Amino acid sequence: MARTASLSGFPEWLPEERLVEQHVLDTLRRVFELHGFASIETRSVETVGQLLRKGEIDKEVYGLSRLQDDEGGTPDRGGKADQHALALHFDLTVPFARYVVENAGYLAFPFRRYQIQKVWRGERPQEGRAREFTQADIDVVGDGELPFRYDVEIALVIAEALSALPIPDFQLRVNNRKLAEGFYRGIGLTDTAGVLRSIDKLEKIGPAKVAELLKSELGATDEQAQKALQLAGIRTGDLSFVAQVRALGVSNDLLEEGLNELEQVIDAAVQRAPGKVLADLSIARGLDYYTGTVVETVLVGHEQLGSICSGGRYDALASKGNRKFPGVGLSIGVTRLVSRILSQDLAKASRSVPTAVLVALANDDNWGAAQDVAAQLRSRGIPTEVAAKAEKFGKQIKFADRRGIPFVWFTDDDGTHQVKDIRSGKQVVAAPETWMPPAADLVVQVATAGAVPAQVS
């Protein structure tokens, strides 16, 4: 990872790095599909009007304009004023909401989908923050109503998916907006959005400054500020957070509802994903319009990387007239994870190409016969290349070696086939119809440092 991107904020991987990324993507897809999530993709562009639908956004959006426009004008140009101008999506939630509304007549609700695509944000690039990056989202969306159970399920699916990746230990930190807002109301703070905005800064500016903010901007008393901070200080890996909240002596119906919801999530997680999910009452999720469960996720020991998976519950992910589509979902920052895996050598591909066997050429006329051997190997799932020229065998072996191709196939003039493991030098007589490499050599393995290699699907 000595290389830096030639365009800041737009990372690109070498083939052996891309294999690690593919392993991550394939693993996520496999887990999502095992849980019945259907794949969709949405177009990369939305209208500016759609992107700004929820009002204020804090994302930097890239607008589009056609270069070769004859009038020299910019009909597609993303001016703030032009709601019909096109721009690249900055997340997968806004496009998904639009997709649900447009296709509501064709979808079966509750609709569960996964979506793995690139998104773009014109922000200042830094580690963990790219301008083009891949997100992997799962959401369940209902028509009119959506049982709370999906909040529990989504958290468990994500815990399972992240557990299958070659990454360090992680923690899903879960809170509930109803719990927080009910609590703030219970202590007499009515601008709950304002309180959340301040609490969101806790990690950045510390409790003393948050208390100041609460008092100066929201008119909180000393006691109110302290109570809000006490709530935000609660973090438990079990159900003890319930008693800790109750001990603060605040009573409010919304608080009770949120407490009950969060209890359901943590209760299931303690059993089904032990150690992976915490109740963390400091989680606020800034400007986003969540209405219940909220989640952020950190890699243990890599907390400064920021959240690698975030999301939560929207009472109205989308709406169409009076019809509301509540949703709950989480979004994994794939590029953020892959960048960290690569920069810290957390996992490695066993070779830089899919090829398991190189069929060598004894002379240039044998290319057709070599292709026959290759076709037989491929027909049994063995990735195979044929040498393009009958160079010296040493050179052909070097060709394989440079790419990490483990086996080179030779055919003698008398038609005898032999295959050489170029790592050990061991060479055996083999038949193209039956020979198989060991399973660990058949396809590229992505191995975690110190763990059992995982197979790339």
Q: Which of residues 393-432 bind a copy of itself (CB under 8 A)?
A: 399, 402-403
Q: Is 346 in the site for a copy of itself (CB under 8 A)?
A: no
Least distance CB 304 / a copy of itself (angstroms): 25
Least distance CB 429 / a copy of itself (angstroms): 24
Length of the chain: 457
Least distance CB 84 / a copy of itself (angstroms): 10
| H or E element, residue 277 | strand 277-280
434 among the known binding-site residues?
no
- Calculate ∠ Cα 282-94-54, nearest 5°: 70
Query: Quick check: 351 and 364 in contact, CB under 8 A?
Result: no
Q: Is 221 in the site for a copy of itself (CB under 8 A)?
A: no
Query: Quick check: 337 and 127 in contact, CB under 8 A?
Result: no
Site size toward a copy of itself, by CB under 8 A: 87
Q: In this complex, which beta carbon is closest to a copy of itself, that of residue 345 or of residue 414?
A: 345
Q: Is 238 in the site for a copy of itself (CB under 8 A)?
A: no
Least distance CB 434 / a copy of itself (angstroms): 18
340 among the known binding-site residues?
no
- Contact pick of 53, 122, 270, 453 for a copy of itself (by CB under 8 A): 122
- The count of other CB atoms within 10 Å of the CB of residue 398 is 13
- Contact pick of 73, 102, 124, 169 for a copy of itself (by CB under 8 A): 102
Least distance CB 178 / a copy of itself (angstroms): 19
Query: Quick check: 75 and 66 in contact, CB under 8 A?
Result: yes
- The count of other CB atoms within 10 Å of the CB of residue 380 is 13
State how far the Cα of 356 lies from the Cα of 47, in Å rounded to an integer: 46
Q: How far is CA 273 from the centre of its chain?
A: 19
Q: Is 88 in the site for a copy of itself (CB under 8 A)?
A: yes
Least distance CB 403 / a copy of itself (angstroms): 5
Query: Quick check: 151 and 263 in contact, CB under 8 A?
Result: no
- Contact pick of 49, 73, 80, 238 for a copy of itself (by CB under 8 A): 80
State how far the Cα of 278 lies from the Cα of 283, in Å rounded to an integer: 11
121 among the known binding-site residues?
yes
State how far the Cα of 327 lies from the Cα of 325, in Å rounded to an integer: 6
Q: Is 352 in the site for a copy of itself (CB under 8 A)?
A: yes
289 among the known binding-site residues?
yes
Q: Which own/partner contact pairs does 57-64 have at CB distance under 8 Å and 24+ positions apart?
A: 57/90, 57/287, 58/286, 58/287, 59/90, 59/91, 59/121, 59/123, 60/90, 60/121, 60/122, 60/123, 61/87, 61/88, 61/90, 61/121, 61/122, 62/87, 62/88, 62/120, 62/121, 62/122, 63/87, 64/88
Q: In this complex, which beta carbon is closest to a copy of itself, that of residue 233 or of residue 381?
A: 381
150 among the known binding-site residues?
no
State how far the Cα of 333 lies from the Cα of 134, in Å rounded to an integer: 7
Q: Is 22 in the site for a copy of itself (CB under 8 A)?
A: yes
Q: Quick one: which of 160, 373, 148, 158 has its CA closest to 262?
A: 148
Q: Is 53 in the site for a copy of itself (CB under 8 A)?
A: no
Contacting a copy of itself within 262-281 (CB under 8 A) = 268, 271-272
Q: In this complex, which beta carbon is closest to a copy of itself, that of residue 52 or of residue 248?
A: 52
43 among the known binding-site residues?
no
| H or E element, residue 88 | strand 86-88
416 among the known binding-site residues?
no
30 among the known binding-site residues?
no
Q: Is 139 in the site for a copy of itself (CB under 8 A)?
A: no
Q: Is 376 in the site for a copy of itself (CB under 8 A)?
A: no
Q: Is 108 in the site for a copy of itself (CB under 8 A)?
A: yes
Where does this chain touch a copy of itself (CB under 8 A) — which range of 112-120, 188-196, 203-211, 222-230?
Answer: 112-120
Q: Is 368 in the site for a copy of itself (CB under 8 A)?
A: yes
Q: In this complex, which beta carbon is closest to a copy of itself, that of residue 91 or of residue 385?
A: 385
* Amino acid (one-letter) located at 223: E
135 among the known binding-site residues?
yes
As annotated, the binding site for L-histidine includes: 91-93, 121, 135, 139, 285, 289-290
